[in-house]
Amino acid sequence: MHNNAPLADTLDERPASPCAPASPCTKVCRIDTATGYCLGCWRTGAEIGAWPAMDAAEQHALLRQLAARRWG
Protein backbone atom coordinates (compact mmCIF):
# COMPACT_ATOMS: atom_id res chain seq x y z
CA MET A 1 0.00 0.00 0.00
CA HIS A 2 1.32 3.45 -0.92
CA ASN A 3 1.36 6.15 1.77
CA ASN A 4 0.41 9.53 0.31
CA ALA A 5 1.18 11.45 3.52
CA PRO A 6 3.76 14.21 3.19
CA LEU A 7 7.22 13.19 4.36
CA ALA A 8 7.12 15.65 7.29
CA ASP A 9 4.00 13.86 8.57
CA THR A 10 5.69 10.45 8.55
CA LEU A 11 9.06 11.29 10.11
CA ASP A 12 7.87 10.79 13.68
CA GLU A 13 6.52 7.36 12.74
CA ARG A 14 9.88 5.99 11.59
CA PRO A 15 11.68 3.65 13.99
CA ALA A 16 14.92 4.88 15.51
CA SER A 17 18.06 4.13 13.58
CA PRO A 18 19.44 0.71 14.45
CA CYS A 19 22.66 2.47 15.44
CA ALA A 20 20.91 4.91 17.75
CA PRO A 21 21.13 4.00 21.44
CA ALA A 22 18.12 3.75 23.69
CA SER A 23 17.33 6.79 25.77
CA PRO A 24 19.10 6.83 29.13
CA CYS A 25 15.85 7.92 30.79
CA THR A 26 15.01 5.84 33.87
CA LYS A 27 11.63 7.53 34.46
CA VAL A 28 12.87 9.14 37.70
CA CYS A 29 12.81 12.65 36.17
CA ARG A 30 13.88 14.76 39.15
CA ILE A 31 16.52 17.46 38.77
CA ASP A 32 18.98 17.85 41.63
CA THR A 33 19.06 21.59 42.31
CA ALA A 34 22.67 21.42 43.53
CA THR A 35 24.08 19.77 40.39
CA GLY A 36 21.44 20.46 37.76
CA TYR A 37 21.45 16.76 36.82
CA CYS A 38 18.49 14.42 36.68
CA LEU A 39 18.66 11.98 39.59
CA GLY A 40 17.75 9.12 37.25
CA CYS A 41 19.74 9.60 34.06
CA TRP A 42 22.31 12.23 35.05
CA ARG A 43 21.42 14.51 32.13
CA THR A 44 20.79 18.23 32.39
CA GLY A 45 17.43 19.61 31.36
CA ALA A 46 19.00 20.90 28.15
CA GLU A 47 20.45 17.46 27.37
CA ILE A 48 17.09 15.81 28.02
CA GLY A 49 15.38 18.26 25.68
CA ALA A 50 18.03 17.91 22.98
CA TRP A 51 18.10 14.08 22.97
CA PRO A 52 15.40 13.51 20.29
CA ALA A 53 17.11 15.88 17.85
CA MET A 54 20.60 14.39 18.32
CA ASP A 55 21.97 11.99 15.75
CA ALA A 56 23.27 8.59 16.87
CA ALA A 57 26.88 9.77 17.18
CA GLU A 58 25.84 12.67 19.41
CA GLN A 59 23.72 10.36 21.55
CA HIS A 60 26.60 7.91 21.98
CA ALA A 61 28.93 10.78 22.90
CA LEU A 62 26.46 11.99 25.52
CA LEU A 63 26.15 8.49 26.96
CA ARG A 64 29.93 8.41 27.41
CA GLN A 65 29.78 11.81 29.15
CA LEU A 66 27.01 10.55 31.42
CA ALA A 67 29.05 7.51 32.44
CA ALA A 68 32.00 9.73 33.28
CA ARG A 69 29.72 12.15 35.12
CA ARG A 70 28.12 9.40 37.16
CA TRP A 71 31.16 7.20 37.85
CA GLY A 72 34.00 9.70 37.31
Q: What is the mean pLDDT of residues 41-53?
A: 97
CB 43 within 8 A of CB 24: yes
Is the pLDDT reported for residue 3 higher than 70?
no
**Alpha-carbon separation of residue 63 from 3, 4, 5, 49, 70 (angstroms):** 35, 37, 34, 15, 10
- What pTM, to 2 d.p., does this model score? 0.72
Is the pLDDT reported for residue 15 higher than 90?
no
